[in-house]
Amino acid sequence: MPLFAVATLLPAALIGIGAMMGGAWIALAVISLTIVVTILDRAVPDAPAESVVSNETLLNITLAIVHLALLPLCVVALSGDWLGTTEKVGLFFAAGLYFGQVSNANAHELIHRPQRGLHRLGMWVYISLLFGHHTSAHVLVHHRHVATRSDPNTSRKGESLYRYIPRAWIGSFCAGYKAEAVRLGNIGRPAWRNPYVVYVGGAAALITLAFLLGGPAAGIAYIILAAYTQIQLLMSDYVQHYGLERPARPGGKPVPVGHEHSWNSPHFLSSALMLNATRHSDHHAHPSRAYPALSLPDDAPMLPKPLPLMASIALIPPLWRRMMDPLVDRWHHA
């Protein structure tokens, strides 16, 4: 657990200090999330799964509280006048990376917890990022339909990141709403109990609050920062499921989800930073398994480079396809 705590909380501290003081603190925040991660991913072997899990929930709660304090601080700093333009660009970049990689991974852990309080804490982290629908869409749609055309968040072979992002955002929003409506109908609850009321209403209230308390600059900074964070989240989904499909059995139903239906990344610091979200096959096989206990199956597809670097490569579609399409074909014919 000390590894996960240092990897996730140190960048948050640097971002927070940088938002208040600017200067070298912002540079250190950017470096900690980029250069340091790249170097240590290359230099240090990936840590094994922990057989005994302790204190993981405490870190989840701590990270959620840190996120809910750090997000408004960054919005105020980005819309204020004590940071220069270069400092604001650096802060925006570092905060977006942190919220998209760490806050997202932590909220993802929380929404899979059966305890109502933890689940709702993760939900509010997503709502604060104007992405509340992911709470329903991820659990009710993605995990059920992953690696099929019925899952909006499964990227298809040959599909560029730029085509994927709007399709996945709109598709998951709609699919999640429909799944919640069906669930409510099955248990006899009225339509107004749909959690989308909270997702959309909460996002609207937070945007309004930002405009009222900080003016147009704060409201716009909040929306743009949340959008950048959402892109980070969708980039992870794009990379972790690119081109992998479950074939249909006789009758049309797809085969069960297996280790071969998610890309994994066996790299040291980026795995700790993202709470082992890089061990994606084991997560899909055991969604309720705590992140320190996730393992890397021997028969699972492995990304050729760390997940954050692969997300950057996905920004260049020809390079991405040249690197990944042969690997996809190899797994389909394995």
The pLDDT tens digits for 87-113 are 999 999 999 999 999 999 999 999 999
Residue 266 binned pLDDT confidence (cut-offs 50, 70, 90): confident
- The arithmetic mean of pLDDT across residues 282-303, rounded, is 90
Residue 280 binned pLDDT confidence (cut-offs 50, 70, 90): very high
Residue 51 binned pLDDT confidence (cut-offs 50, 70, 90): low
- The arithmetic mean of pLDDT across residues 146-162, rounded, is 96
Tokens, residue 220:
């716009």
pLDDT at 2: 82
How many structural domains is the chain composed of? 1
- The arithmetic mean of pLDDT across residues 280-297, rounded, is 90
- For the chain, the average pLDDT equals 93
Residue 61 binned pLDDT confidence (cut-offs 50, 70, 90): very high
Residue 334 binned pLDDT confidence (cut-offs 50, 70, 90): low
pLDDT at 50: 65
- The arithmetic mean of pLDDT across residues 18-33, rounded, is 96
| Secondary structure string (H, E, C) spanning the chain | CHHHHHHHHHHHHHHHHHHHHCCHHHHHHHHHHCHHHHHHHHHCCCCCCCCCCCCHHHHHHHHHHHHHHHHHHHHHHHHCCCCCHHHHHHHHHHHHHHHHHHHHHHHHHHHCCCCHHHHHHHHHHHHHCCCCCHHHHHHHHHHHHCCCCCCCCCCCCCCCHHHHHHHHHHHHHHHHHHHHHHHHHHCCCCHHHCCHHHHHHHHHHHHHHHHHHHHHHHHHHHHHHHHHHHHHHHHHHHHHHCCCCCCECCCCCECCCCHHHCCECCCHHHHHHCCCCCCHHHHHHCCCCCHHHCCCCCCCCECCCCHHHHHHHCCCHHHHHHHHHHHHHHHHCC
Answer whether residue 24 shows pLDDT above 90: yes
Q: What residue type is 303 in one-letter code?
A: L
pLDDT at 249: 87
- The percentage of the chain sitting over the pLDDT mark of 70, rounded to a whole number, equals 97
Torsion sign across C-alpha atoms 33, 39, 42, 46: negative
pLDDT at 299: 84
Residue 239 binned pLDDT confidence (cut-offs 50, 70, 90): very high
pTM of the model: 0.94
pLDDT at 45: 72
* CA pair distance 56, 279, nearest whole angstrom: 16
Residue 138 binned pLDDT confidence (cut-offs 50, 70, 90): very high
pLDDT at 53: 59
Cβ contact 260:127 at 8 Å: no
- The percentage of the chain sitting over the pLDDT mark of 90, rounded to a whole number, equals 81
| Range of lowest pLDDT (198-212, 230-244, 293-307) | 293-307
Domain region containing 306: 2-332
Residue 82 burial by Cβ neighbours in a 10 Å radius (0-12, 13-18, 19+) = exposed
Tens of pLDDT, residues 164-186: 999 999 999 999 999 999 999 99
